[in-house]
Chain A
């Protein structure tokens, strides 16, 4: 209701011209559609106007916050996720089974993800990554926040920043370069979104989007992945481990992905034990094999290459190769339990 009245006010302003430009209520700035669909790489995040208050991450109209059941872990960063839909468009639920229910986005849409560290007033925005759906495909761009937290500027070549993780580790955090964005987001050479799949989104959120006209229908198979934050030692380890491996690894480790040549396929829907690493010998692991013979050796987490690489932060051994400078202890614990309980 509030949004609609602001919209009417904006219309009124446009209609009555300059006379009303000094009105006490200022209409929110609309998202800059031209910046999304144009050919250029905007130099500053503010050019898109995705936020009414960027420091506080308060989104503009038609910029919808969302969350994932099981999120990608990035050194413990807090992630603020948004989807922008141009006026008159909506997300389309995908019926294709092999996409995991990846929502289909209209041209002109954008996905925005801000990475932050620190709590409350100490929260610092580090970077904001945007995926822009242009007529010729998706474009991925990284933006780096300044120390004053007033603006984020394009970091085509990526960058590094020293920070302390929530676990208390001091790390050199890497902002990916534009190609590295594609490294994770590419399938068969094309950039695609990864996160917003029906199976990893809450039904409540999808229902809200449907109600607001931002989604065409409720996709089947919604929310089949577990809510990671709800994990306990009594939860079934397999569901959580497989969800974790899908979200953290399968963007590369799947056919057509960046690590397809390894033959390891960690997608949630993959049912072949060998493909997900069970009794699978390494191909190009090098010292990443850690002296072990198999990716996953049932009952033997400490002899499983997959866990060895998850549990390392050393370049050349650590997996994932990008977006990680420290070890996700909870992720390791869950995958360890899964392998240990495996017959």
Chain B
């Protein structure tokens, strides 16, 4: 091929002219070498982390499009570990602010704030990333493990987060999202989708958190109107860790033993999941509970569908006022779905045939729980429903091949 033709092909595919691989090994001066490599990378370059422990005192950051940061593994003796135990500055371990970045096969330990944050970073992939606070659940741990925000195109897969004092995997104010085949344990919230649209959360294991999977829409943020979220084929089990979130945060209100919690949102499908031993409720669907002044905000949970899920033991030790009376009234164990009963209009909760639950029979958002009149869920089940297919763009999946 002559040079002109080659140039034409390169232009046509927008491929980087000469993507390079830069390898950074742990050891003396590793922090500086790694940060320099992240700064000097050209679009399309690969930065390889050697195996071992990188001891870091400051947060790292990446601001070059199309870079892959790749380690030798997230677990075991040959892992690449970014160790922030002695961190002195910055709000997170690694901050990504550029598009089309791939992060894979390394671990982040004990960041003082969040683990990895990507902000305004479209089409980002997190694959095989472990974020761990090694001291177990503590209020002094950072808030989020994996934290993409304000982004379009997010894929989080094969990753593992434990110890986050807010959410292990938190996707906020974003759209076109897939969170698949991750393990989240011993966090306050396992996975949280907040103020986001078109999210697929599937084939994850959420266990030993306070709450397994959360779908929230909150007022007063630049991006609102969350919805079109699918929770499908997840294992949500043994979420029984007492809430250790610092007070003041919205997740501090999550009851120990919550499997799925939907708060506000427009369109959430909960289907084909397996629930086991979530002592307060396998599924909870509620309106936003706090007062707010944001005129753009809709506090109702709308178009939420509880489809065909497998419900094991649960609701047998709820963290709820009047627990004893409730358990007695429902025969020793609460049915799997807890609904506050609050509807905007005819777009309230829908359940598939065979789904049982109970309702607080409240009527308006923010109403005191003291006014609840608990009773069995009285909804006419539906056999089928329509819901849009959602998730990250196919191009992101292709990049991992």
Show the binding face of A for B, using Cβ within 8 Å. Answer: 156-160, 172, 174, 177-180, 182-183, 186, 189, 255, 258, 260-261, 263, 274, 279-293, 305, 314-316, 321-322, 325
Interface pair B57/A160, CB less than 8 Å apart: yes
A174, A186, A258, A321 interface centre (most CB from chain B within 10 Å): A321
Q: Which residues of B contact A183 (CB under 8 A)?
A: 61, 95, 97
Interface pair B220/A280, CB less than 8 Å apart: yes
From residue B134, how far is it (CB to closest CB) to chain A in Å?
16
CB contact between A261 and one of B57, B119, B248 (< 8 Å): that residue: B119
Interface pair B61/A286, CB less than 8 Å apart: no
Given contacts A174-B58, A285-B143, A322-B90, contact A261 B113 (CB under 8 A): no
From residue A43, how far is it (CB to closest CB) to chain B in Å?
13
Interface pair B39/A316, CB less than 8 Å apart: no
Give 1 or 0 for each of B74-101: 1 = CB within 8 Å of chain A CB.
0000000000000111110001010000
CB contact between B246 and one of A263, A274, A287, A315 (< 8 Å): that residue: A287
* Bound form: Cα–Cα A157–B95 in Å: 14
Q: Which residues of B contact A274 (CB under 8 A)?
A: 220, 293-294
From residue A289, how far is it (CB to closest CB) to chain B in Å?
3
Q: Which of B113-151 contact A (CB under 8 A)?
A: 113-114, 119-120, 139-144, 147, 149-150
CB contact between B88 and one of A160, A177, A280 (< 8 Å): that residue: A160
Interface pair A282/B39, CB less than 8 Å apart: no
Cβ of B222 < 8 Å from any Cβ of A?
yes
Interface pair B31/A157, CB less than 8 Å apart: yes
From residue B88, how far is it (CB to closest CB) to chain A in Å?
6
Interface pair A281/B250, CB less than 8 Å apart: yes
A-B contact pairs, 9 of them (CB 8 A): A158-B58, A160-B88, A172-B88, A174-B89, A179-B61, A255-B222, A286-B143, A286-B249, A316-B112
Residue on A nearest B194 in the bound complex, by CB: A283
Interface pair B220/A189, CB less than 8 Å apart: no
Q: Which residues of A contact B223 (CB under 8 A)?
A: 261
Interface pair A291/B57, CB less than 8 Å apart: no
Given contacts A179-B38, A189-B120, contact A286 B165 (CB under 8 A): yes
Q: By DSSP majority rule, is chain B's interface helix, strand, loop, or mixed?
A: loop
Q: Other than A263-B220, A286-B142, give 10 A-B pairs with Cβ distance below 8 A.
A: A157-B39, A159-B32, A160-B57, A177-B58, A284-B114, A286-B249, A291-B246, A316-B111, A316-B113, A321-B90
Residue on B nearest A186 in the bound complex, by CB: B97
Interface pair B36/A286, CB less than 8 Å apart: no
CB contact between A177 and one of B61, B112, B140 (< 8 Å): that residue: B61
Q: Which residues of B contact A281 (CB under 8 A)?
A: 220, 248, 250, 290
Residue on A nearest B144 in the bound complex, by CB: A284
CB contact between A156 and one of B40, B173, B222 (< 8 Å): that residue: B40
Interface pair A282/B248, CB less than 8 Å apart: yes
* Bound form: Cα–Cα A305–B57 in Å: 26
Interface pair B113/A157, CB less than 8 Å apart: no
Number of B residues contacting the other chain (C-beta, 8 Å)? Answer: 53
Q: Which residues of A contact B220 (CB under 8 A)?
A: 263, 274, 280-281, 283
Interface pair A284/B58, CB less than 8 Å apart: no
Interface pair A179/B63, CB less than 8 Å apart: yes
Q: Which residues of A contact B218 (CB under 8 A)?
A: 283
Q: Which residues of B contact A280 (CB under 8 A)?
A: 220
Interface pair A283/B89, CB less than 8 Å apart: no
Give 1 or 0 for each of B50-73: 1 = CB within 8 Å of chain A CB.
000000011001110000000000
Q: Which of B216-234 contact A (CB under 8 A)?
A: 218, 220-223
Q: Which residues of B contact A180 (CB under 8 A)?
A: 61, 90
Cβ of B247 < 8 Å from any Cβ of A?
yes
9 closest Cβ pairs, A-B complex: A286-B143, A289-B248, A316-B112, A157-B35, A179-B61, A315-B112, A321-B91, A291-B247, A287-B246
* Bound form: Cα–Cα A315–B165 in Å: 15
* Bound form: Cα–Cα A280–B247 in Å: 15
Given contacts A261-B173, A321-B90, contact A289 B249 (CB under 8 A): yes
* Bound form: Cα–Cα A280–B63 in Å: 31
Q: Which residues of A contact B33 (CB under 8 A)?
A: 157
Q: Which residues of B contact A279 (CB under 8 A)?
A: 293
From residue B336, how far is it (CB to closest CB) to chain A in Å?
30
Interface pair B246/A290, CB less than 8 Å apart: yes
Q: Which residues of B contact A325 (CB under 8 A)?
A: 88-89
* Bound form: Cα–Cα A208–B172 in Å: 48
Interface pair B32/A157, CB less than 8 Å apart: yes
* Bound form: Cα–Cα A78–B368 in Å: 54
Q: Which residues of A contact B141 (CB under 8 A)?
A: 287
Q: Which of B186-238 contact A (CB under 8 A)?
A: 218, 220-223
